[in-house]
């Protein structure tokens, strides 16, 4: 007898088997928690503590939604775009006209850079910070005004005020910042935005906002509704683990949203959007990831305190600490143990950016680091 199965039936069956196996092994599948395995990194499968990824991967709900989307992969995704826009608007209590969806938030950084170049504007930004918008602007011939972070290693808004010129038409602020996981105090940021948005568009990159647990931090999305020159971007690449799947969100005045999507064709795919639609509603899994991130922080804080090393407390899924030696040396040494750490970030060449992967991996990192450098 021949049995005919659709892809969806087969995928649903395998998902059920996988979930059952998790339950039998004593793991609570609904929360997608994981029993800590023995950590044994290899050259082929190293601990990836260098790119600020989510080492746990996408939620089971997102994975199932992506798998189920295979049956509709031959269809154009227009309905899914509007559906995901509706969800993003609802989650932030903002009209749908103020929301754009892209293939990662980098898409919006690049488009903002293009329009700034077309308008003949300079780009004002802190340094060090996330580098994509600066690199792209430079390739377009734009002038960059880079303002060093302050002595506290936080973005220095007063110094940026002093650096402001009449030709600045785009200001970029990554909040929390990257590679230094500091925040901009909420009232100071609002004041800065209201002061300079009449002259320039201010793009606030909130890639890591889900990880922030700091009363002095606040998203600037509410300003978007009040101010036509404020853009807030977010990404699914971090807590939602869509780094390779690509979904980003832009919140801005409808005129800016329309201009963004007039530039070049949208590159969204149906599977990514359906996965994101499920992931953004899986609050239980997001809370689990935040808790694991805090556990990782505690492990590394203890290591650094034990060794007397300076560090900046994290508002993201990575740490920045002063190794007292070149970060390249740390990276080369840890790579021998199949642990990858962040690249060099000038001028802080002795500081290491360490992505917080899983507690058991961070404990191994701490043990090896103490042995090598203690």
**Taking 70 as the threshold, does the pLDDT of residue 180 lie above it?**
yes
Mean pLDDT over the full length of the chain: 92
pLDDT: is 17 or 162 the higher one? 162
**Third-level CATH fold of 65-279:** 3.40.640
Alpha carbons 333 and 338: distance in angstroms, whole number: 9
pLDDT greater than 90 at residue 4: no
Distance between CA atoms of residues 230 and 251, nearest Å: 8
Predicted confidence at residue 267, as pLDDT, reads 74
Q: What is the pLDDT of residue 335?
A: 98
Q: For 224-251, what is each residue's pLDDT tens digit? A: 998 899 999 999 999 999 999 999 999 9
- Looking at residue 263, its pLDDT comes to 79
Q: What is the pLDDT of residue 33?
A: 53
Residue 125: strand, helix, or coil:
strand
Mean pLDDT on 188-211? 98
Question: What pLDDT, in 10s, does the model give residues 108-149?
Answer: 999 999 999 999 999 999 999 999 999 999 999 999 999 999
Q: What is the dihedral of CA 247, 250, 255, 261, to 10 degrees?
A: -20
Mention every residue, 6+ apart, whose C-beta is less than 8 A from residue 159: 147, 148, 150
The residue to which tokens 């030709």 are assigned = 167
Pairing of strands 201-205, 248-251: unpaired
Q: Which of 17-21, 99-103, 167-171, 342-346 has the lowest mean pLDDT?
A: 17-21
Which residues are registered as beta bridge partners of 48? 340
Mean per-residue pLDDT for 333-361? 98
Flag the least confident range among 90-99, 259-268, 328-337.
259-268
Let me know: does 325 contact 261? Beta carbons within 8 Å: no
Query: Given the structure tokens 């969100």, which residue do they identify?
Result: 249
Percent of the chain whose pLDDT exceeds 90: 86
pLDDT at 22 over 60: no
pLDDT value of residue 31:
52
Its pTM surpasses 0.75: yes
Model pLDDT, residue 236: 98
pLDDT in tens, 64-98: 999 999 999 999 999 999 999 999 999 999 999 99
Rounded distance, CA 289 to CA 84, Å? Answer: 22
Q: How confident is the model over 196-216, as a mean pLDDT?
A: 98
Q: CB pairs under 8 A, 24+ apart, for 186-189?
A: 186/216, 186/217, 186/218, 188/157, 189/157, 189/218, 189/220
pLDDT tier for residue 23 given thresholds of 50, 70 and 90 = very low
CA 274, distance to chain mean position in Å, is 19
User: Looking at the predicted structure, is the pLDDT value of residue 298 above 70?
Assistant: yes
Residues 33-46 have pLDDT tens digits of: 555 568 999 999 99
Answer yes or no: same fold for 26-57+283-373 and 65-279: no
Distance spanning both ends of the chain, measured CA to CA: 67
What residue ranges do the domains of the chain occupy? 26-57+283-373, 65-279
Question: Domain 26-57+283-373, what fold?
Answer: 3.90.1150
Residue 345 pLDDT greater than 60, yes or no: yes
For residue 38, the model assigns a pLDDT of 82
Mean pLDDT of 262-287: 92
Rg of the chain over Cα atoms, rounded to whole angstroms, equals 22
Per-residue pLDDT at 266 exceeds 70: no
285 φ, ψ to 5°?
-70, -40
3-class secondary-structure state, position 337? coil
Does residue 303 or residue 31 have the better pLDDT? 303
């Amino acid at each position: 007898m021949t049995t005919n199965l659709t892809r969806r039936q087969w995928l649903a069956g395998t998902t059920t088997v996988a979930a059952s196996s998790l339950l039998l092994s004593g793991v609570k599948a609904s929360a997608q928690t994981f029993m800590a395995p023995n950590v044994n990194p290899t050259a082929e499968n190293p601990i990836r503590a260098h790119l600020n990824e989510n080492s746990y991967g996408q939620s089971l709900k997102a994975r199932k939604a992506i798998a189920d989307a295979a049956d509709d992969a031959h269809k154009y995704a227009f309905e899914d775009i509007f559906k995901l826009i509706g969800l993003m608007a609802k989650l932030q209590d903002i009209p749908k006209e103020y929301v754009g969806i892209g293939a990662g938030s980098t898409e919006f950084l690049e488009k903002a850079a293009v329009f700034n170049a077309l308008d003949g504007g300079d780009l004002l930004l802190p340094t060090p910070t996330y580098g994509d918008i600066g690199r792209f602007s430079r390739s377009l011939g734009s002038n960059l005004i880079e303002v060093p972070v302050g002595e506290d290693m936080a973005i220095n808004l007063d110094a940026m005020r002093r650096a402001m010129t009449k030709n600045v038409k785009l200001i970029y602020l990554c909040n929390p910042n990257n590679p230094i996981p500091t925040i901009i105090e909420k009232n100071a940021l609002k004041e800065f935005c209201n002061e300079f948005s009449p002259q320039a568009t201010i793009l606030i990159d909130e890639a890591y906002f889900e990880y922030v647990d700091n009363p002095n931090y606040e998203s600037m999305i509410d300003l978007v509704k009040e101010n036509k020159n404020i853009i807030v971007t977010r990404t699914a690449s971090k807590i939602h683990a869509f780094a390779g799947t690509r979904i980003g969100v832009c919140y801005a005045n409808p005129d800016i949203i329309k201009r963004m999507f007039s530039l070049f064709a949208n590159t969204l795919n149906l599977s990514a959007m359906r996965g994101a639609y499920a992931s953004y509603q899986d609050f239980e899994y997001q809370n689990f990831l935040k808790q694991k991130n805090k556990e990782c922080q505690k492990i590394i804080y203890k290591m650094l305190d034990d060794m007397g090393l300076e560090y900046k407390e994290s508002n993201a899924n990575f740490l920045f600490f002063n190794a007292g030696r070149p970060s390249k040396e740390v990276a080369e040494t840890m790579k021998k143990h199949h642990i990858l750490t962040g690249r060099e970030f000038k001028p802080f060449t002795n500081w290491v950016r360490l992505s917080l992967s899983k507690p058991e991996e961070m404990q191994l990192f701490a043990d090896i680091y103490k042995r090598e450098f203690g």
